[in-house]
């Protein structure tokens, strides 16, 4: 019997890590949030711009016609330059939207510009409700009463790159998120393309206390370097 994303989400939520590992993850999150909060606004902006420009000089970005991105929030490395460039270059831009009826799960939605965004949970901008989203199990319609669409009918959701935030990354491609499991659940089911962690240099550490469900990235881009892992 296959496992639904809802069941998988429950499994992740109820899996118990060793106390030492759980505490180490909490400590990393606390430290990184503090470092981001202590970062002067102007410095964060200049570092964000440098990292985005570094990524835009990368051949895989330049060749990509479809990218999955995010809108930075709560001190994350911002993506405004990348979003504007992607829309100007007429790339297909996919952005995450949290499923309010299913905590811990999100979808990706194709957005044609900032006019397709609205304030969502957690203080971040999300795609507007009337746009169709893609779940890990396939695309779906958001209008009341509209049935799910069979995944085999969708030929458009195939991003060439997925750029993702994180609390911290390590030199082996490990990623530690905020604890909600949104990206881990989606990536476990979908997005089989190059994964790029976008973060400040101080968020890159030698190793992380990872859990079995933590999804890895193939590349990490900071304001100082691009790592191929």
Distance CA 189, CA 184 (A): 9
- Does residue 14 register a pLDDT over 50? no
Distance CA 16, CA 8 (A): 14
The residue that leads in pLDDT, 87 or 106, is 87
Which of 38, 46, 105, 76 is CA-nearest to residue 168? 76
Distance CA 202, CA 205 (A): 7
Percentages of the chain per state (helix, strand, coil), in multiples of 5: 35, 20, 45
For the segment 31-58, the average pLDDT, to the nearest whole number, is: 97
Q: Are 220 and 97 in contact (CB under 8 A)?
A: no
Token couple for 100: 């309010």
Q: Write down the pTM of the prediction.
A: 0.83
Weakest mean pLDDT among 61-75, 121-135, 170-184: 121-135
The residue that leads in pLDDT, 121 or 35, is 35
What digits encode the pLDDT tens for the residues 55-95?
Answer: 999 999 999 999 999 998 778 999 999 999 999 999 999 99
- Does residue 124 register a pLDDT over 90? no
The residue that leads in pLDDT, 32 or 7, is 32
Mean pLDDT of the chain: 84
User: Residue 156's pLDDT is what?
Assistant: 54
Domains of the chain with bracketed CATH: 5-228 (3.40.50.10420)
User: Residue 121's pLDDT is what?
Assistant: 72
Which of 175, 178, 165 is CA-nearest to residue 51? 165
């Amino acid at each position: 019997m296959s496992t639904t994303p809802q069941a998988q989400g429950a499994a992740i939520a109820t899996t118990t890590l060793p106390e030492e590992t759980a505490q180490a993850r909490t400590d990393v999150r606390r430290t990184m949030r503090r470092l981001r909060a202590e970062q002067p606004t102007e410095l964060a902006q200049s570092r964000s711009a440098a990292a985005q420009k570094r990524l835009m000089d990368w051949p895989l970005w330049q060749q990509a016609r479809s990218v999955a991105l995010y809108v930075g929030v709560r001190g994350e490395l911002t993506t405004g330059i990348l979003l504007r460039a992607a829309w100007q270059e007429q790339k297909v831009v996919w952005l995450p939207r949290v499923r309010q009826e299913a905590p811990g799960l999100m979808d990706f939605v194709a957005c044609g510009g900032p006019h397709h965004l609205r304030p969502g949970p957690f203080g971040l901008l999300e795609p507007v409700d009337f746009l169709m989203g893609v779940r890990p199990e396939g695309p779906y319609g958001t209008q009341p009463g509209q049935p799910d669409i069979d995944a085999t009918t969708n030929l458009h959701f195939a991003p060439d790159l997925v750029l993702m935030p994180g609390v911290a990354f390590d030199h082996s491609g490990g990623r530690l998120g905020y604890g909600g499991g949104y990206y881990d659940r989606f990536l476990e089911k979908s997005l089989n393309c190059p994964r790029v962690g976008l973060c400040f240099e101080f968020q890159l550490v030698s190793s992380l206390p990872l859990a079995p469900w933590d999804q890895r990235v193939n590349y990490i881009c900071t304001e100082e370097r691009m790592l191929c892992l």
